[in-house]
A and B are shown apart, each in its own frame.
Chain A
Amino acid sequence: MNTLPYADQKIGQKEMVFIVANVVIGVGILTFPRTLAAKTGSIDGWISILISGLVASVIGWLLGKLASRFPANSFFEYASLIVSRPVAQVITFLVGIYFLLFVSFEARALGNIAKQYLFTTTPVEVITLAFLLIVQYAVAGTRIALLRLNMLFFPIVLLISAVVQLYSIQMLELDNVRPLFTTGLGALLQGSKEVNLSFSGYEVVLFYTLLMTRAEDAPKAVVKGLLIPIFLYLTIYIFVIGVFSAEVVKNLTYPTIELAKDVEVPGGFIERVESLFFTIWIMTIFNSCTVFFDLAIFNLGSIFPNVRKFTWLLIISPLVYMISLWPQNLVQFFSLGDQLVYFGIFITYLVPILLLLIAKWRGVRGDE
C-alpha cells in the first residue's frame, strides 16, 4: 500500500550509485592487493587499478546505456525484444544461474574468513547457514527495502575503512612505497586483469534500471558508483603496500585484514581492530549477497512468471547453501571464484554489449 508518493517502489540516481558501489565492494577488497602485488611487484599497481577501473566504467556505461534504452522493461523483456524470446530465455536463465553461484561464492567467502579470524571450532556450514538465513529474510521483504539497505550500510563500511586507513598512516613507511614507476606495461596490464575480477558486480545496472525514476541516469550512476570502489581500492592498495611492502603483501592471504590487524587505535580503546573491521565488512558482503540473490530470483522468475517469488526463495535457498559448501579448501575456493568471474564476464558483460549493438543496429527501443 502506497500511502505516500515517495514511498513507492522507485529508486533515484543516488540509490543506484550506492548499490553499484556496494555490490562491487565484496570479497575482492580483501584479496586484491595480494594478486595485484604478485603481478606488479610494486606500488605501481595503482595504475593497474586505474586501468581496470576505467575499463569497468566503460563497460558499466555501455550496460547502463542498454538498460536505459528500455526504461520500463525487465532484462528478460528487452532481451526478448532484441533477440527472440527463446534466446532471451537461455540468456536470462544463465544470468540467473550466475547470480545464484555468486551468492554461494560470497556466502562461502564470508564463512571462510569468519572461520579464520573469528571462530576456531564453529563449522563453516553453520556460519554460512546463519548468514544465508539473514540474507533470505532480507530477500523475502520488498525489493525496495532491500535496495535501501545498501544506503544504510554503505556509509558504515566506508567509515570503518577510513578509520583503518587513518590509523595506519603512522605505520606508513615511505621506504616501502619507493621506487615508483618501475613496473613494465605488461605487468601492469596483467595486474589490471586481476583487479578487474574485483570490480565485477556493476552489471546489476542491467536489472535495476527498471526501478529508476529517471532511467536515462543509469549510465552516469554506474560510473559514479564505480568511482567509489576505484578510490577505495587505490587508497587501500597504497596503504597496504606502504605498510607491508610489496614483497610481504604477496605472501598475505587477506592483506586488507592484516592491515587492520596491524592498526593500533591510540588510547587503547580497542585492542584489535581487525575483528571490528571484519564484522563491519560482513555488511557489505551481506548487501552484495542480497542484491545477487534478489537478481537470481528476479531473472529466473521472469522466465517462469507464474511461480511466486516466495516459492523461488524456497527452491533456490537450499541450492545456494549446498553450492556454497562445495569447495574443500581455500585454493579450490579461489579458483572457483575466478572461473565464476570469467563466466560472469561472458554472460553479463559480453552478451549485453552484444545485445546493445544488435539493438542499435535493429533500432529496437523500449516503450516509455
Chain B
Amino acid sequence: MSKSSARLLVSVLSVSLLSGCWDQVQIEERGFVVGVGIDLPSSKEMERQAEKEAPDKPKGKRRYLVTHQFVVPGGLVSNSQGGGGSQSSTGDPFQNLTSEGDSLFEISRELAVRTSRSPFYQHLKVVIVSEEVAKSPNTFADVLDYFLRDPDLRRTSKVMISKGKAKPVLEVKPKTEKLPSLYINSVAENTDRTARMIPEVRLGEVHEDMINEFSFVLPRIVAANNEVKVAGAAVFQGQGNKMIGFLGEEETEGLNFLLGNVQGGLLKTKVKDNLVIFNIQGTKRTIKADVRDKKRMRFQFFIECEGVIAESFERLDFMESRIMDNLQKTIAAEIERLSHDAIRKVQKKMKTDVLELGTYVKQTHPDLWKQLKEDWDHGRNLFASSEIEVKAVVYIRNGGSVNRTEIR
C-alpha cells in the first residue's frame, strides 16, 4: 500500500527540482489580447527595409499589418477606490500595438520586443479583417490559418470585416465599455433588436464554410466618431474564399429574412401616406425546390413573420380584422421587396450563393449535388441562372397596448 511511498517522495522531489516552473506566467504578466485587426501595409517601406537586412530570407507573398489590442488591467480599475494594490493609472484600459510582417505568428512573436507582456490569446473576442485583406485573392484563409491552428485560440472568437482599415475599428473609445473589443463583441450580439446585422459568425464557423467551399457572409463593421456600427455584410465566394463585396444595410435585412436569421427588428410600411412600424418578434423560413431542370432550378422561399405594431402615425383601428389583413399584406410586401433586393444583388450581380441554397440541395438531393458541386456558384454558375421566388406571410399578433392615440 505505501510500499512505494519513499520512492514516490524521491521522485516527486526530483520532479519538482527538475521542473522549476516552466509554464508559470503570472496573470498580471500576461498580455490579454482581446481583439486583433488585420490590414495590408500602406507603404512598402518596411518591406524594403527587411529586404535590405536579409535578402535571402524566405518571404511570404504578402505582408500584413496586424494590430493587437492588449488589455491594460490597471486601467480597468476605477481609481476612486484608492486601494486595490494597483498603481493608480489614468491611462487607457487598452493598448493597441501594430506590427508588420509576412507571417502572423512572426508578428505575434515580434511583439515581444515591444511589450513587456507576451500575447495571450485565450480571451480573444473579435478578429477584424479589413476589406482590403479579404478582397485579395487567397489571403483570407491564410490569415485565419494561424488563428485556427494555435490550440490557444478558440473557435468562438467573432470574425468581422471592416469597411476600410481594421485598425481604426479597434481604436474607438466607447463611453459605455472600457475595452473597444468587448464593446464590439457585445454590439455584435444585438441581433434580437435589429435585422440589419447578420448573426455573429465565429471563427469555427468560418472554418467550416471554407472547408466545405460554401459561400458565406460575414458581418461588416464600420468605425466612425468613436463608435462602431455593425451592419451590413461582406459576401465571400466559397471558391477561393475571396470577398466579393458588401451588402448594404437594407440588403442585409433582406438576406436575413431569406436565411431565417431575423429574430427582431422592425419593418416600416406606409398606410395612407403615414408610417406604421412593425416590430418583428420572430420569423420562420422554409425552402421548396424544383430541381428537375439543372439549368433553371426553381427555389421558393416562404417567410413567415410575426410581431406587433410598435408605432403608428396613421390612426388605424387595429381591432378591425380588415385593416389588420391589409396591414399584414403590405408588411409582407415589404419583406418581399427587401428580399428581392437582396436576391438581385447576390444572385445577379455577385453571382454568389450566400442564400445557402447549395447547402439545401446538398442535404435534400445529395446525388444531384455531387454533379452540381463544381458548377454551382462558380464555373457554369447554375445558381445565377436559377429562379428564386419569395413569398412572405405576416402575422400581427396585436396592435400594442393602445388602439389609437387620438381620434382623427
- Which chain A residues have a beta carbon within 8 Å of chain B's beta carbons? 116-123, 126, 129-130, 133, 136-137, 140-142, 145, 175-176, 178-179, 182, 244-245, 247-248, 251, 258, 261-262, 264, 271-272, 310, 313
Contacts and interface: CB of A to CB of B under 8 A. Distances in A.
A292 to B, nearest CB: 18
B15 A130 contact: yes
A120 B356 CA distance: 40
Judged by DSSP, the binding face of B is helix
Interface string B154-171: 111000000000000000
Nearest to B365: A179
B18 to A, nearest CB: 6
B156 A179 contact: no
Interface stretch (B207-215, B229-237, B391-399): B207-215
A310 B211 contact: no
B15 A262 contact: no
Q: Is the interface of A mostly helix, strand, loop or mixed?
A: helix
B207 A248 contact: yes
B49 interface: no
5 contacts: A119-B22, A136-B4, A141-B3, A175-B356, A264-B156
A272 B359 contact: no
Given A133-B11, A247-B208, 11 more contacts: A119-B23, A136-B8, A137-B8, A145-B1, A179-B366, A245-B211, A248-B212, A262-B154, A262-B204, A271-B123, A272-B154
Interface string B223-244: 0000000000000000000000
Contacts of B50: none
B151 A116 contact: yes
Nearest to B118: A120
Nearest to A142: B1
Contact of B122 (A116, A182, A245, A272): A272
A75 B293 CA distance: 67
Contacts of B8: 133, 136-137
Given A122-B19, A129-B15, A137 B212 contact: no
Nearest to B21: A122
Nearest to B123: A271
A83 to B, nearest CB: 35
B23 A120 contact: yes
A247 B18 CA distance: 43
Interface residues of B, number: 30
Interface in B11-54: 11-12, 15, 18-19, 22-23
Contact of A310 (B3, B212, B367): B3
Nearest to A253: B151
Given A116-B151, A133-B12, A182-B366, A262 B208 contact: no
A285 to B, nearest CB: 18
Interface string B327-365: 000000000000000000000000000001001001110
Contact of B155 (A117, A119, A136, A262): A262
B1 A248 contact: no
Interface of B: 1, 3-4, 7-8, 11-12, 15, 18-19, 22-23, 122-123, 151, 154-156, 204, 207-208, 211-212, 356, 359, 362-364, 366-367
B23 A245 contact: no
B211 A121 contact: no
B287 to A, nearest CB: 12
Q: Which of A141, A248, A272 neighbours the largest number of chain B CB atoms within 10 Å of its CB? A: A248
Nearest to A120: B23
A122 B19 CA distance: 8
Contacts of B1: 141-142, 145
A248 B22 contact: no
B18 A245 contact: no
A248 B211 contact: yes
B74 to A, nearest CB: 21
Contacts of B19: 122, 126
Given A136-B4, A175-B363, A247 B212 contact: yes
Contact of B204 (A116, A120, A136, A244): A244
Nearest to A125: B18
Contact of A137 (B4, B204, B366): B4
Contacts of A182: 366-367
A309 B154 CA distance: 46
